[in-house]
């Protein structure tokens, strides 16, 4: 098992850290400046993505290697969507993110990467037409939601789950206009979907209609059809 090195200090970690007593005076003087930095990051993101409309955000594990069936499915999905005129947005890193950006360029579409500073794993992939660097996770998430017309989620870990349930919560609470939230590979997601239906729903912690916020797809072609059908029904301008 590979030994994990101690994470380096980064901006998100510093923002969320509770200061020790002896640090509080200095910490208080720094936070207002950090707030300005956050605002600047939001402004830079809005400015860079202002002309991006109807993008599809693709999520999944950063650890998926080139040639893996999930990598190739994500690459094909992004290529087919790009050929239909959809910009592709990913987290900008390796694995499924790289596959998404790579496929977007192969489909001659716009390839956007919203990179995040992390002490391990995350390094920008080379397949990005627009590459943004974020210090703060919540600013990065804002960009994903604001400029997307669909989320396509491939198998992944905690970060992927975070993106999935963030989108589900926003859709469930009508905080955003609903858009397709697509999961790829039923075998991977089946235990989670069973938990949602057999535990959450049975306990009445969610409503029956909430289950239908998730669409399960088993092939790139099915994903494309789901996204295009949604856009047609919701009067999005044609992308093809």
Q: How far apart are CA 163 and CA 46, in angstroms?
A: 20
Non-local CB neighbours of 96 within 8 Å, separated by 6+ positions = 58, 59, 60, 61, 62, 64, 70, 71, 74, 90, 154, 156
Domains along the chain with CATH numbers: 50-233 (3.40.50.450)
pLDDT less than 70: residues of the chain: 1-30, 119-122, 235-240
pTM: 0.85
Q: How far apart are CA 143 and CA 140, in angstroms?
A: 5
Residue of 189, 184, 166 whose CA lies nearest to 227: 184
**What's the pLDDT at 120?**
62
pLDDT, one tens digit per residue, over 120-138 is 656 789 999 999 999 899 9
**What's the pLDDT at 220?**
97
Q: How far apart are CA 101 and CA 153, in angstroms?
A: 14
**What's the pLDDT at 128?**
97
**What's the pLDDT at 17?**
63
**What's the pLDDT at 31?**
73
**What's the pLDDT at 3?**
36
**What's the pLDDT at 6?**
41
Q: What is the three-state SS of 176-225?
A: CCCCCEEEECHHHHHHHHHHHHHHHHCCCCCCHHHHCCEEEECCHHHHHH
**Quick check: helix, strand or coil at residue 161?**
helix
If residue 52 lies in a helix (H) or strand (E), which one and from where to where? Answer: none
Query: CA separation (Å) from 150 to 68, 81, 191?
Result: 24, 11, 23
């Amino acid at each position: 098992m590979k030994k994990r090195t101690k994470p380096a200090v980064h901006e998100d970690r510093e923002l969320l850290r509770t200061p020790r007593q002896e640090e509080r005076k200095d910490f208080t003087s720094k936070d207002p400046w950090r707030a300005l930095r956050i605002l600047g990051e939001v402004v830079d993101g809005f400015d860079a993505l202002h002309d991006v409309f109807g993008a599809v955000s693709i999520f999944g594990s950063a650890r998926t290697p080139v040639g893996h069936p999930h990598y190739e499915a994500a690459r094909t999905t992004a290529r087919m969507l790009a050929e239909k005129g959809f910009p592709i947005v990913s987290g900008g890193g390796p694995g499924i993110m790289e596959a998404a950006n790579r496929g977007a360029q192969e489909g001659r579409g716009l390839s956007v990467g919203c990179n995040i500073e992390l002490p391990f794993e995350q390094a920008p992939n080379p397949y990005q037409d627009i590459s943004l660097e974020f210090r703060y996770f919540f600013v990065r998430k804002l960009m994903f939601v604001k400029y997307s017309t669909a989320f396509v989620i491939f198998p992944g870990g905690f970060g992927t789950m975070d993106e999935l349930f963030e989108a589900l919560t926003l859709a469930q609470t009508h905080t955003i206009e609903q858009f397709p939230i697509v999961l790829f590979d039923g075998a991977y997601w089946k235990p989670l979907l069973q938990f949602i239906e057999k535990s959450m729903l049975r306990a009445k912690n969610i409503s029956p209609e909430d289950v239908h916020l998730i669409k399960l797809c088993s092939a790139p072609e099915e994903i494309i059809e789901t996204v295009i059908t949604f856009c047609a029904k919701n009067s999005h301008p044609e992308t093809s």
